[in-house]
Amino acid sequence: MTFEEIQRQAKAEWDSQYHGEVAHILIGTATCGRAAGALPVVEAFSKELAKSGVQAKISEVGCIGLCSLEPLVTIIKPDSFAVCYNNVTPQVVPTLFEGYVVGDDPCLDIALGTLDGGDGAPVYIPELLRFEHEHRLLMRNCGYIDPSNINHYIANGGYNSLGKALSMQPDAIIDEIKRSGLRGRGGAGFPAGIKWELCRKASGQTKYVVCNADEGDPGAFMDRIVLESDPQQVIEGMAIAAYAVGAHEGFVYIRAEYPLAIERLQVALDQAKKLGFLGGNILGSDFSFDIEIAQGAGAFVSGAETALMMAIEGRRSMPRPRPPYPSESGLWGKPTVLNNVKTYACVPAILTNGSDWFSGIGTEGSKGTAVFALAGKMVNTGLAEVAMGTTLHELIFDIGGGIRGEKKFKAVQIGGPSGGCLPENMLETPVDFDSLREAGAIMGSGGVIAMDEDNCMVDTAKFFLDFIQTESCGKCSTCRIGTKQMLDILEDITAGKGKIEDIDMLVELGEDVRDGSLCGLGKTAPNPALTTIRYFRDEYEAHILEKRCPARVCKELTAYYILPDKCERGCEHCVLACPVEAIVTNEKGIKVIDQSKCTKCGSCELVCPPEYDAVVRLSPISEVPVSGLEKPE
Amino acid sequence: MAELKEELLDVLKPEKKARRHLISLLQQVQRKLGYLPREAMIAVADFLEIPGSTVYGIATFYNQFRFTPLGKHPVKVCMGTACHLAGGQLVLEAMARELDIEVGGITDDHEFSLDRVACVGCCALAPVVVVGETVYSRMTPPKVEELLVTVKPVSREQSENQESSG
């Protein structure tokens, strides 16, 4: 089949499903959709369909980015508008099915909104204000097309760019990528075009193209969503890169913790191969290229490029000094281009729309869009794609919907264990590579975690140091020993054993770890501690000087207490929930916590009925009134 | 040992006989056996004709590999950033308490094993617990017991009966 025939066939299939005679039900079944219960919803729709005998089609699609509203269902009706429904359960499926699949009632009272392809992007819900702030480029198809059907991708312009690339000179492609200003989406932001050029110019017949999908940053899941929702754009981007640099073999290094992404990527690779977008003589040219999946085995350090290549070679993923850079000596010593999932995913759109179009989005130094994973205490958790230069405030409040409940915003953690915590007065910082670095954080992998007054900054720093300390590969002694020392100090502080000079010691150690480590993991490891000290020094001082945790998180400095005047005497919720029988009823019928038995698990606070709201946390511990329960021995 | 080699025949295929396949071979062995027994690591070393210490070195470097069997219902508590901020530590402690095992351990009846994972990428639904392939979202300590009963209603009831009768 020629490319034109493939396109014609794909378009016909697409039109019959998305603009056809029968209703089309799209159900988001990416990992987050599944976690929220999407599979029983699929089952319920299939059952209704079988029962009714109505003609309709069900497709499992990826993620639209609205994770907190999962499971999401979109019903596309001929001659009507597509309607999106949120938090769908199997119980409401019959209503939706009768209403909009069989009948003509779009059930607007339980709908989230209408899906219209405003601005050229199929995924756009005009009713949700957050979409006004988004700029969907990589995610334009996510949650709309079936990721396991390559025809859906082709029908939406897929593989046009590869066809175009194969008719261009490799140098012209590299020039185009350079002009677009595309910088690596993995976090460091190295210009992709320059990487490619260095690799092209490097001597040697064998070259490799590697995609870094080892998204190990706890709190980030953009790469997973892209691979689960629209994997073909990554494959097309890699194929273009391979043609540009002269490579014939590629690897996607993906973490084993993402089984669904691996499964969908493998299906996508098989389909691409079958249609001749991978393999020998691609699209009738004399260019050959194939991609293999290499599964990561769980090591955060593998995200560092030199370490990642060691892992593909089947060795311990430990970084090595650069130069030589991978573009000269990478996988098995051969010139290698290594980019992130999202970097490759940008490439087809750049070739289709031109470098001027891409460089027209974003800021002076950072072009294009950025995908962020919004998590933590935000209302609208999920994914957002915005133009570079959008402020943190816009990201957290306009798109993320601000902080949940009545709580007050305290800090935003951006960039994961390599990033930092920024306070409220830094919210006007634009998100781009350079502004964030200046603020002490980094773009990193793009995890944005909002924290409220219930989160302790010292505990957060300790959490990241604990992670980094465990994940340090041990090659550089500053990282191996330094992060352990920093963690020990933070543990002392959160346990109320800190000394005031510890704060300066942390800063000093942090600088040593940064300067003395080889790879990105070590160089950025102190960031969470350094930024929390820089912006929240008062919290450190409260822990050390007053033995008080302002957020009442650190266990050793916090106690649970039942307010006697709020405790409704007859209720036994807390007594039953307490796993260690630390709650007893006193002679007045009021519940009292035996502090010597309490393990501070928080169960009593969770189960105390909201209308009583009698369980509180107190810090320092000395604030707990003497109950008379603790009888002297 | 001979039995084990027999069992691993479909993993240790001739076309995989290259040093670069070491990690993926270990992954396949673990998928088959649930963990990496010492004998299996030796079998892989013999197959690739490399020292056993190299195999052991790789296996202990990566977090994915385990050296004790997995429970019938492997429980993984997510300790990613979002889960931590939402109280993941308390969920982990509740799970350890309910199962009466430590992190990395397995219950006596081999029904449950308990591990912590760095991040399963469901941050929007934090804190999460993964049992087998199923993700449970927005967990709390009181929901832990409920979850365990849903996962394995019969065997837990039985073991509790045994406890009370014994």
H or E stretch at B96: helix B88-99
In a domain, A569, yes or no: yes
**Both A323 and A444 in a single domain?**
no
- Say whether pLDDT at A298 is over 90: no
Among the listed residues A58, A40, A37, the one whose alpha carbon sits nearest the alpha carbon of residue A49: A58
> Helix, strand, coil: what percent of chain A each, to 5?
45, 15, 40
**Both A169 and A186 in a single domain?**
yes
Residue of higher predicted confidence among A1 and B148: B148
Q: Which SS3 state, helix, strand or coil, does residue A544 take? A: helix
Among the partner-chain residues A34, A221, A311, the one whose CB lies closest to the CB of B123 is: A221
- Say whether pLDDT at B93 is over 70: yes
- Say whether pLDDT at B163 is over 60: no
**Both B44 and B114 in a single domain?**
no
CB contact under 8 A, A375 and B21: no
Q: Is B4 exposed, middle or buried (0-12, 13-18, 19+ CB in 10 A)?
A: middle
Phi-psi region of A91 (alpha: psi -120 to 50; beta: other; left: phi over 0): alpha
Alpha carbon of A525: minimum distance to chain B alpha carbons (Å) = 15
In a domain, B9, yes or no: yes
Q: What pLDDT does A121 receive?
A: 79
Among the listed residues A513, A518, A517, A528, the one whose alpha carbon sits nearest the alpha carbon of residue A444: A528
Under a CB-based contact definition with an 8 Å cutoff, are residues A27 and A58 in contact?
A: yes
Under a CB-based contact definition with an 8 Å cutoff, are residues A445 and A220 in contact?
A: yes
Q: Supply φ then ψ for residue A113, to 5 degrees.
A: 170, -175
Average pLDDT of the segment spanning A144-154 = 97
Q: Mind listing the pLDDT tens digit for each residue in A107-116?
A: 999 999 999 8
- Say whether pLDDT at A631 is over 70: no
Q: What pLDDT does A629 receive?
A: 52
- Say whether pLDDT at B160 is over 60: no
A585: domain CATH number is 3.30.70.20
Q: Is A321 exposed, middle or buried (0-12, 13-18, 19+ CB in 10 A)?
A: exposed
Among the residue ranges A236-250, A448-462, A490-504, A578-592, the one predicted with the least confidence is A578-592
When pLDDT is cut at 50, 70 and 90, the band that residue B120 belongs to is confident
Q: What pLDDT does A424 receive?
A: 95
Substitution target in B19, B23, B54, B150 with the highest count of A β-carbons within 10 Å is: B23
Average pLDDT of the segment spanning A77-92 = 93
In a domain, B132, yes or no: yes
Q: Mind listing the pLDDT tens digit for each residue in A568-605?
A: 878 899 999 999 999 999 888 899 999 999 999 999 99
- d(CA A65, CA A400) in angstroms, rounded, equals 11
Average pLDDT over chain A reads 93
The residue range of the domain holding B44 is 2-61
- Say whether pLDDT at B55 is over 90: yes
- Say whether pLDDT at A610 is over 70: yes
Among the partner-chain residues B62, B81, B140, the one whose CB lies closest to the CB of A447 is: B81
Tokens 């702030």 belong to A133
Q: Which SS3 state, helix, strand or coil, does residue A43 take? A: helix
CB contact under 8 A, B65 and A463: no
Q: Which of residues 46-105 of B touch A (CB under 8 A)?
A: 57-58, 61-65, 79-87, 90, 93-94, 97-98
Residue of higher predicted confidence among A31 and A487: A487
Alpha helices in A517-602 (DSSP H): 520-524, 527-545, 573-577
Identify any residues that bridge with A83 across adjacent strands, giving them in sequence order: A75, A114
- Say whether pLDDT at B162 is over 50: no
- Say whether pLDDT at B51 is over 80: yes
Q: How far is CA A337 from CA A190, A194, A195, A280, B11, in A?
A: 12, 10, 7, 20, 31
Instruction: List the structure tokens of A510.
Output: 């942090």
Q: What pLDDT does A49 receive?
A: 95
- d(CA A450, CA A398) in angstroms, rounded, equals 13
Under a CB-based contact definition with an 8 Å cutoff, are residues A112 and A85 in contact?
A: yes
The residue range of the domain holding A535 is 457-545
Q: How many domains does chain A contain in total?
A: 5
- Say whether pLDDT at A518 is over 80: yes
Which residue, B61, B94, B109, sits at the end of a domain?
B61
**Both B54 and B123 in a single domain?**
no
Q: Mind listing the pLDDT tens digit for each residue in A494-507?
A: 999 999 999 999 99
When pLDDT is cut at 50, 70 and 90, the band that residue A201 belongs to is very high
Q: What pLDDT does B154 receive?
A: 54
Q: What pLDDT does A539 receive?
A: 97
% residues pLDDT > 90 (chain A): 86
When pLDDT is cut at 50, 70 and 90, the band that residue B165 belongs to is very low
Q: What pLDDT does B166 receive?
A: 33
CB contact under 8 A, B141 and A579: yes
In a domain, A252, yes or no: yes
**Both B79 and B159 in a single domain?**
yes
Q: What pLDDT does A36 receive?
A: 87
Alpha carbon of A253: minimum distance to chain B alpha carbons (Å) = 12
Residue of higher predicted confidence among A628 and A2: A2
In a domain, B67, yes or no: no
- d(CA A410, CA A403) in angstroms, rounded, equals 10
Identify any residues that bridge with A293 across adjacent strands, giving them in sequence order: A252
Alpha carbon of B80: minimum distance to chain A alpha carbons (Å) = 5
In a domain, A85, yes or no: yes
> For residue A584, what are the contacts with CB-CB under 8 A and spacing of at least 6?
A575, A591, A592, A594, A629
Q: Which SS3 state, helix, strand or coil, does residue A111 take? A: strand
Q: Chain B residue with minimal CA distance to A449?
A: B82
**Both B57 and B115 in a single domain?**
no
Q: What pLDDT does A627 receive?
A: 60
Average pLDDT of the segment spanning A440-446 = 82
Alpha-carbon torsion angle A617, A622, A623, A627, nearest 10: 90
What number of helices (H) and strands (E) belong to chain A? 24, 18
CB contact under 8 A, A36 and B137: yes
**Both A104 and A239 in a single domain?**
no
Q: How many domains does chain B contain in total?
A: 2
- d(CA A578, CA A374) in angstroms, rounded, equals 33
When pLDDT is cut at 50, 70 and 90, the band that residue B155 belongs to is low
When pLDDT is cut at 50, 70 and 90, the band that residue B1 belongs to is low
Average pLDDT of the segment spanning A546-556 = 96
- Whole-complex ipTM: 0.88
Among the partner-chain residues A296, A373, A606, the one whose CB lies closest to the CB of B140 is: A606
CB contact under 8 A, A67 and B125: yes
- d(CA A75, CA A336) in angstroms, rounded, equals 44
Q: What pLDDT does A377 receive?
A: 93
B120: domain CATH number is 3.40.30.10
Q: Chain A residue with minimal CA distance to B58?
A: A316
- Say whether pLDDT at A628 is over 80: no
DSSP state at residue B8? T
In a domain, B66, yes or no: no
Q: Supply φ then ψ for residue B60, to 5 degrees.
A: -85, -15
**Both B57 and B77 in a single domain?**
no
Q: Mind listing the pLDDT tens digit for each residue in A177-197?
A: 999 999 999 877 899 999 999
**Both A292 and A346 in a single domain?**
yes
Among the partner-chain residues A219, A299, A315, the one whose CB lies closest to the CB of B119 is: A219
Instruction: List the structure tokens of A206.
Output: 């064998």
**Both B146 and B105 in a single domain?**
yes
Average pLDDT of the segment spanning A220-229 = 92
Alpha carbon of B52: minimum distance to chain A alpha carbons (Å) = 14
